[in-house]
Amino acid sequence: MLNFNFKNPTSIHFGEGQIQAISTEIPLNARVLLVYGGGSIKSNGVYQQVTDALKEHTWFEFSGIEPNPSYDTLMKAQDIIKAENIDYLLAVGGGSVVDGVKFIAAAALYQGDANNEDGSGESDPWDILAKQQPVTKALPIGAVLTLPATGSESNGNSVVTRDGTKLSFSSNLVRPLFAVLDPTVTLTLSDRQIGNGVVDAFIHIIEQYLTYSVNGKVQDRFSEGLLQTLIEEGPKALAADTKDDLEVRANIMWSATMALNGLIGAGVPQDWSTHIIGHELTGAFGIDHARTLSIVLPALMKVRREQKREKLLQYASRVWQVTEGDDDTRIDQAIRLTEEFFEKMQVPTRLSDIDLGSKDIDLLVERLEQHGMTALGEQGDISLAISREILTQAL
Amino acid sequence: MLNFNFKNPTSIHFGEGQIQAISTEIPLNARVLLVYGGGSIKSNGVYQQVTDALKEHTWFEFSGIEPNPSYDTLMKAQDIIKAENIDYLLAVGGGSVVDGVKFIAAAALYQGDANNEDGSGESDPWDILAKQQPVTKALPIGAVLTLPATGSESNGNSVVTRDGTKLSFSSNLVRPLFAVLDPTVTLTLSDRQIGNGVVDAFIHIIEQYLTYSVNGKVQDRFSEGLLQTLIEEGPKALAADTKDDLEVRANIMWSATMALNGLIGAGVPQDWSTHIIGHELTGAFGIDHARTLSIVLPALMKVRREQKREKLLQYASRVWQVTEGDDDTRIDQAIRLTEEFFEKMQVPTRLSDIDLGSKDIDLLVERLEQHGMTALGEQGDISLAISREILTQAL
């Protein structure tokens, strides 16, 4: 096991009816900005429950956060924050809303870089993303999660898009102070949202698991338990006779939070190359985040099978109960089962499934190079050439 | 899954050399009381490392916390706290030291019960335990763990003994702000300490797992992963050729913390009857805590096999890979394997192993009654008669 520091102070309120917890989690004297995406929270009753819980609070609202939240949209929230002296942000939505609120929270109190190029000391919150300027202050955040997927509700990570480029930042100061996880609110999600969410969470776990062994037995078994849970429960959330089963939704929701709250990744190597390559697919072609991952991961498993051999065998045996045949047969079988699981979740596993071909790979590799993504993976040895090989394998 | 609130803000510093983290975790202007037990931390180098890390701080020390820390010892720390205006407590030791420091922290700022019997409003910290008076303030606590077992380093629980009676309290205000887990410091533990620690952690997991199913798949799999890890690693920490293996110690240490930090018990029923019955064995006969548990648990499994049938079968299959034979055969086999594991960890599994017999059961049942422990278990249906049956089964 590697040395680590782990701390996750987000207060989780899990279960039916827990939205009311925001009435006590947010101080009564706060000036709250309720931030959400489109209108779905109005049609499914979540908006009503949230505003009921805020009836003793002073609150305002800002909506229109889109999937892959854009810098331009997020910066528009600064006007109301200044005008109304907002001092608490409440994100109500999926990972995009929570990620967006994190940037809004950091941008609102960003003091800039006194050493910036023109020496003016002026603050441009874009620098948090583009120059990885450290966040030293941020507005406090609470979250009501409506789509289990990203784990953003209890971590400090945020991904923001500007002009087709996805950039991220991370800070403990933007980790939500509390998160409400009520699985009943996920019953109105579309199959596409469920499929994407389950696959996103699944691949978060894989990125912290499928590397090389450091004999972190607790981390490995926790990861395997989460993967097995998503494999069992994910398809049930799409099947006609089980899609309204609240227990299925609860197990998916808790798995997705645990998948990326820092716990399973503490003390083990990580490989985020599937995400990084996938980001370029979203940036260049507007593909849903999870659907980029389900295309890249199986290809990455095939191309990196030697480097990941030991863990692929463990994955085959413990997650898929594949124990017959020689090593390579078992690895092949595990990769095939992974693809079949993605297909059950109704996400693509090939570039051809989304009408991309070999002609598009140059652009993706070029963008990886532009973004400095030239040494990916747990050992930093996934070069641009290997990323190209992975994309070619995914054709 | 049941509704739950889960929050665990303890900052964990895990790995070799992490004791130095206390130099930055504790504010430089704090007046620190370093609290420990006997002299073992002086002979194994931990005291030196801790005091090196505190070299910029103002600190004092208080030692002599015994196993099953006594109220009288703990109250003696109040003198130095008052005299030196101590405002930060650093526990260095095992679960007893950390539990003891929690009581010291709460007692130091205890303001009493204005409505107490004599109406004097005088404060007697004993009321925190005896009357379960709420803790409203406590000194901040940091912990350097030397014995993986109780999970006390990242929870809010404390058990204190007075006149042969073990009483407990729980408060988020006494949860350590940070905990250092350096597995190298466990290499000097005795076999008895290791055996006790592994068994204590194992049974913490069982108490949150072996109840009835609420379909909490994440919690179940996390519990099963921890149990399997302790089953694999525990005996290695006692075997001549592997007892110096730091990876073994690291896996045990992280398992013991995860066993009782609130995570695996969130959203599932719990049954703490093994602990409660065990506490009377310690109180009446001075038996090591873990050795009371290893005697009570197998007997409880046998007496409660019908109520716990579904989970016992899951335990047999997933934790012990017992899949042959009918239901009762598999349950018998799982209980036998549990006993064999305890024997490998060199702890007793029968009252006769510690020279107690049927004549001693009356006293234990009498004490359970005195302490109001008349309705134990996940359903509150373990009466005094059933506790007697469990103790008789354990003969």
Q: How far apart are CA A345 and CA A260, in angstroms?
A: 20
Of A184, A203, A223, which marks where a domain is finished?
A184
A75 with A220, same domain? no
**pLDDT per residue over A134-179, tens digit each?**
999 999 999 999 999 999 999 999 999 998 788 899 999 999 999 9
Query: Count H helices, E strands: chain A?
Result: 15, 8
- Hey, is the C-beta of A203 within 8 angstroms of any chain B C-beta? no
Mean pLDDT of A68-85: 96
* Interchain CB distance below 8 Å, B4 and A16: no
Residue B346 lies in a domain: yes
Residue B383 lies in a domain: yes
Residue B1 lies in a domain: no
Report DSSP state, residue B315: I
* Interchain CB distance below 8 Å, B225 and A221: yes
Q: With bands split at pLDDT 50, 70 and 90, how would you rate the model's confidence at B166? A: confident
Contacts B13 to A, Cβ<8 Å: 5
What's the pLDDT at B240?
96
Residue B164 has pLDDT above 80, yes or no: no
B112 with B194, same domain? no
Structural domains counted in chain B: 2
A139 with A81, same domain? yes
A340 with A292, same domain? yes
Please state whether B123 falls in left (phi above 0), alpha (psi between -120 and 50) or beta: beta
3-state secondary structure of A10: strand
B195 with B178, same domain? no
Q: Which helix (H) or strand (E) holds A34?
A: strand A31-36
**pLDDT per residue over A225-272, tens digit each?**
999 999 999 999 999 999 999 999 999 999 999 999 999 999 999 999
Residue B169 has pLDDT above 60, yes or no: yes
3-state secondary structure of B386: helix
Computed over every residue of chain B, the mean pLDDT equals: 96
B265 with B164, same domain? no
Match 């040395």 to its residue by tokens: A3
Mean pLDDT of B44-54: 97
Which among B18, B217, B228 has CB closest to A221?
B228
Q: With bands split at pLDDT 50, 70 and 90, how would you rate the model's confidence at B203? A: very high
What's the pLDDT at B123?
80
B261 with B373, same domain? yes
Q: With bands split at pLDDT 50, 70 and 90, how would you rate the model's confidence at A323? A: very high
Report DSSP state, residue B230: H
CATH of the domain at B141: 3.40.50.1970
- A38, with CB counted inside 10 A (0-12, 13-18, 19+), is middle
What's the pLDDT at A164?
77
A262 with A338, same domain? yes
CA distance B12 to chain A (A): 5
Residue A121 has pLDDT above 90, yes or no: no
What's the pLDDT at B115?
59
Phi, psi of A149 (to 5 degrees): -170, -65
CA distance A55 to chain B (A): 22
- Hey, is the C-beta of B224 within 8 angstroms of any chain A C-beta? yes
What's the pLDDT at A6?
98
Residue B279 lies in a domain: yes
Contacts B258 to A, Cβ<8 Å: 218
**Domain coverage including residue A321:** 191-393
B120 or B88, higher pLDDT:
B88
CA distance A375 to chain B (A): 27
Mean pLDDT of B31-57: 96
What's the pLDDT at B119?
57
Interface contacts (A, B; CB < 8 Å)? 125
Residue A115 has pLDDT above 70, yes or no: no
- Hey, is the C-beta of B242 within 8 angstroms of any chain A C-beta? no
Q: How far apart are CA B166 and CA B162, in angstroms?
A: 7
Report whether B365 contacts B391 (CB < 8 A). yes
Neighbours of B52 (CB within 10 A): 12
Q: Nearest to residue B272, comparing CAs of B295, B297, B251?
A: B297
Of B185, B202, B229, which marks where a domain is finished?
B185
- Hey, is the C-beta of B321 within 8 angstroms of any chain A C-beta? no
In a mutational test of the A interface, the residue from B7, B22, B218, B232 whose CB has the highest number of chain A CBs within 10 Å is B218
Report whether B198 contacts B237 (CB < 8 A). yes
CA distance A54 to chain B (A): 20
B101 with B250, same domain? no
What's the pLDDT at A190?
97
Residue A1 lies in a domain: no
- Hey, is the C-beta of B229 within 8 angstroms of any chain A C-beta? yes
Which among B3, B11, B250 has CB closest to A15?
B3
Residue A3 lies in a domain: no
Contacts B254 to A, Cβ<8 Å: 1, 216, 218, 267
Mean pLDDT of A62-78: 96
Buried b (16+ CB within 10 A) or exposed e, B310-348: ebbbbbbebbbebeeeeeeebbbbbbebbbebbeebbbb
**pLDDT per residue over B371-392, tens digit each?**
999 999 999 999 999 999 999 9
Strand ranges (E), chain B: 4-14, 31-36, 58-62, 88-93, 141-145, 157-162, 165-170, 178-181
B237 with B306, same domain? yes
CATH of the domain at B211: 1.20.1090.10
Mean pLDDT of B126-151: 96
B149 with B205, same domain? no
Chain B nearest-CA residue for A231: B217
Of A184, A213, A234, which marks where a domain is finished?
A184
A307 with A346, same domain? yes
Residue B50 lies in a domain: yes
Mean pLDDT of A169-196: 97
Computed over every residue of chain A, the mean pLDDT equals: 96
Residue B369 lies in a domain: yes
What's the pLDDT at A78?
97
* Interchain CB distance below 8 Å, B2 and A15: yes
